[in-house]
Amino acid sequence: MKITIDIAGQFLSLSDHGKIVKQYAVSTATKGAGEKNGSFCTPRGRHIVRAKIGGGLPMGTVFARRRPTGEIWTPVLHALYPGRDWILTRILWLSGCEVGKNRLGEVDTMRRYIYLHGAPDLVAMGQPGSIGCVRLRNADIFELFDLLPPYTVVEIKE
């Protein structure tokens, strides 16, 4: 299994032995592609899924610092916290594989806390909107999470 994320096209492809088996619309960073810490950009290059977080929890589970808060996202909860960067349902935490590009120092993807994660239903997919992570619809990350073994390769390209 391998994931390819196309920043320009705003979609994610899951392939198995070179054959695309699933595609999902995504939302990457509003500020575009970039690797530097504090840039609020989506990092490019080769990564792996270093950690899978949230297995077995309900759809819409709200996370803060990779921990479930005990909340389930609803439009009412959203209205109470309008500026919150919602991380929902599941987290696939990425780690860069290319030293100096997306691993170690000022460009370390894992230290930047870059995830593939669920987002509120009202968040537009197919257009940039995140602060660095790759957002998916809750149903899509729910499905994808169960399909992937740990250390799945994730290639992010413009």
CATH number at residue 96: 2.40.440.10
Percent of the chain at pLDDT exceeding 90: 97
Query: What is the spatial distance between Cα 111 and Cα 114, in angstroms, rounded to a whole number?
Result: 8
pLDDT of residue 9: 98
The mean pLDDT value for 27-32 works out to 98
Q: Is the Cβ–Cβ distance between 48 and 97 less than 8 Å?
A: yes
Nearest to 109 by CA among 33, 47, 60, 65: 47
3-state secondary structure of 106: helix
Q: What is the mean pLDDT of residues 106-118?
A: 98
Residues 6+ apart with CB under 8 A from 63: 53, 54, 69, 87, 88, 91, 117
- Model's pTM, two decimal places? 0.96
What pLDDT, on the 0 to 100 scale, is given for residue 46? 98
- pLDDT score for 39: 98
Residues 6 or more apart whose Cβ sits within 8 Å of residue 17: none
Q: Which domain holds residue 30?
A: 2-157
Q: In this predicted model, what pLDDT tens digit does every residue of 56-93 receive, in sequence order?
A: 999 999 999 999 999 999 999 999 998 899 999 999 99
**Which pLDDT score, from 0 to 100, does residue 154 have?**
98
Note the pLDDT of residue 16.
96
Looking at the structure of the chain, the number of domains it has is: 1
Q: For a pLDDT cut of 70, what percent of the chain falls above it? A: 100
d(CA 35, CA 108): 8
Provide the pLDDT confidence category of residue 111 given band limits of 50, 70 and 90: very high
DSSP annotation of 105 reads G
Average pLDDT of the chain is: 97
Work out the widest C-alpha separation in the chain, in whole angstroms: 45
Q: What is the pLDDT of residue 33?
A: 98
Residues 128-153 pLDDT 10s: 999 999 999 999 999 999 999 999 99
Closest listed residue to residue 9, CA positions, set 28, 31, 22, 36: 28
